[in-house]
Amino acid sequence: MGGVEAAGTPGEHTQGWEHEDTPTTARVVLADGTVFEGHGVGATGAAPGEVCFNTAITGYQEVLTDPSYAGQIITFTFPHIGNVGTNAEDMETSNDNAEAGVIGCILKADITEPANYRSTQHLDAWLKQRGIIGISGLDTRALTNLIRENGMPNGVIAHAPDGVFDIPALTQQARSFPGLEGMELAGKVTTSQQYDWDETSWVWGKTYGHLASAKHHVVALDFGAKRNILRLLADQGCAVTVVPATSTADDILALNPDGIFLANGPGDPAATADYALPEIKKLVDSGKPIFGICLGHQLLGRALGGTTRKMHQGHHGANHPVKDFTTGKVEITSMNHGFAVDAASLPDTVTETHRSLFDGSNAGLEAFGGRVFSVQHHPEASPGPQDSHYLFARFADRMAEAKGK
């Protein structure tokens, strides 16, 4: 299998294709002119985005429906994607807007027939249905090494059944993509209207349950919330009201919540902060317990006086070790972010509670004696398998303490 050749004239350096006797019907074209060939799967057409890689070996449907991947093209480092098919239960977003999620997916091996009792649809058909462009047979190791060395590039993923591509035009399209830095995407993935949530976690042999009686009322500010986050809140006895990302602090406090949740989401936190930060600062000043995840963590960090930065290759996977300084334990976590809170920028009134053991980047903070806290990783996922679920119980405890006062 061929590797990536040295950069030259756009369109002239092309990565080899593993089925050399089979016509190629898809391309990944990077802004520097590097071209990868493969076999098209899923939807047809061409779309630009930021190219990243994800190291998880399971949960590809959850990854592909995570709103935090809006604007990105995912390279799966695990070679066999699609083996267990897809189903309606494993969706992480309820927003079917084509702009609300991942742009495309890059696979090493061809998609096989699903072999799982829960499967209801082949991954290829599912990708077509959701308008996601895919490519298989690509040298994902070469592309991953390129990202590790040079950072996440802008690129275009294209699928044409006739195998005809205008490489110079696709290269120009990749170069014209502005990149995620400075891009506000939470507004594209958020809910358009307020709704209530009471669904609890999935139970083997059954399905999802429903909250029988609520102990707490949580208002979730939706920057791209994943369903399983809402389920784990419900598991803690929380009746959840989900509101749009553009909701004001007055709107949220008028709902009389016991606690406020700041959801995950895509894009540059500095861009989303333009409208969200003043409201989050008011929510912090309200005295209510606050819990944030992912983009919610980054926005809370900025609201508390810190800054955020674009990462070189980001963290995307389900094998990320994180040290929790509040317990002294190391958790194996799921992560998906290309921006991070700069720990050095946090004021003395904010404590760093978690840190990535991969690169030392910030992964958690708290302020006001723990009433306000957040983490960068996704504690609703189960790679550890449940190392981080305690954070939802901690949030419930904070709300109980606030009620007691």
Active site residue 378: yes
β 259-262/308-324 pair status: unpaired
- Cα separation, 307 vs 343, in Å, equals 8
Active site residue 122: no
Whose tokens are 């990708």? That residue is 127
State the fold for domain 14-176.
Glucose Oxidase; domain 1 (3.50.30)
- Please enumerate in sequence order all residues whose Cβ is within 8 A of that of 122, keeping only pairs 6 or more positions apart, or say none: 82, 85, 86, 111, 113, 114
pLDDT, position 385: 82
Name residue 270's amino acid: A
H or E element at residue 127: helix 123-130
- Cα separation, 290 vs 302, in Å, equals 14
Is residue 97 over pLDDT 90?
Answer: no
Could you please report the per-residue DSSP string of 138-191?
--HHHHHHHHHHH---EEEEEE-TT----HHHHHHHHHH---STT---HHHHS-
User: Average pLDDT of 339-357?
Assistant: 98
- Give 286's pLDDT tier (boundaries 50, 70, 90): very high
- Give 11's pLDDT tier (boundaries 50, 70, 90): very low
Is residue 15 over pLDDT 60?
Answer: no
Q: Look up residue 187 and give its two tokens.
A: 């507004």
User: Average pLDDT of 360-378?
Assistant: 98
Q: Look up residue 10 and give its two tokens.
A: 């756009």
- Cα separation, 27 vs 143, in Å, equals 13
What CATH code would you report for 186-404? 3.40.50.880
User: Average pLDDT of 92-107?
Assistant: 78
Mean pLDDT over all residues of the chain? 93
pLDDT, position 123: 98
- List strand residue ranges (DSSP E) for 223-361, in order: 238-244, 259-262, 290-293, 308-324, 329-341, 350-356
Q: Say what the pTM is.
A: 0.94
DSSP classification of residue 384: S
Whose tokens are 């949740």? That residue is 261
Is residue 1 over pLDDT 60?
Answer: no
Q: Select from 327, 326, 332, 342 the least CA-distant residue to 378.
A: 332
- Cα separation, 315 vs 385, in Å, equals 18
Phi and psi at residue 273, to the nearest 5°: -65, -25
Is residue 23 over pLDDT 90?
Answer: no
Q: Look up residue 14 and give its two tokens.
A: 């092309």
- Cα separation, 253 vs 351, in Å, equals 26
- Cα separation, 190 vs 130, in Å, equals 17
Catalytic residue among 62, 216, 380, 389: 380
Render pLDDT for 243-267 as a digit per residue (tens, 0 to 9).
999 999 999 999 999 999 999 999 9
Render pLDDT for 141-159 as a digit per residue (tens, 0 to 9).
999 999 999 999 999 999 9
Catalytic residue among 159, 216, 320, 378: 378
- Please enumerate in sequence order all residues whose Cβ is within 8 A of that of 372, keeping only pairs 6 or more positions apart, or say none: 284, 289, 290, 300, 304, 366
Active site residue 352: no
Phi and psi at residue 404, to the nearest 5°: -65, -30
Q: Select from 366, 384, 390 the least CA-distant residue to 292.
A: 366
Q: Look up residue 47 and give its two tokens.
A: 């779309």
pLDDT, position 14: 53
Name residue 291's amino acid: F
Render pLDDT for 33-72 as a digit per residue (tens, 0 to 9).
999 999 999 999 999 999 999 999 999 999 999 999 999 9
Could you please report the per-residue DSSP string of 75-99?
EESSS--STT-B-GGG-------GG
Catalytic residue among 294, 320, 354, 389: 294
Domains of the chain, residue spans:
14-176, 186-404
Could you please report the per-residue DSSP string of 12-64?
S-EE--S-TTS---EEEEETTS-EEEEEEEEB-EEEEEEEEEE--SS-HHHHH
Q: Which residue has the higher pLDDT, 101 or 140?
A: 140
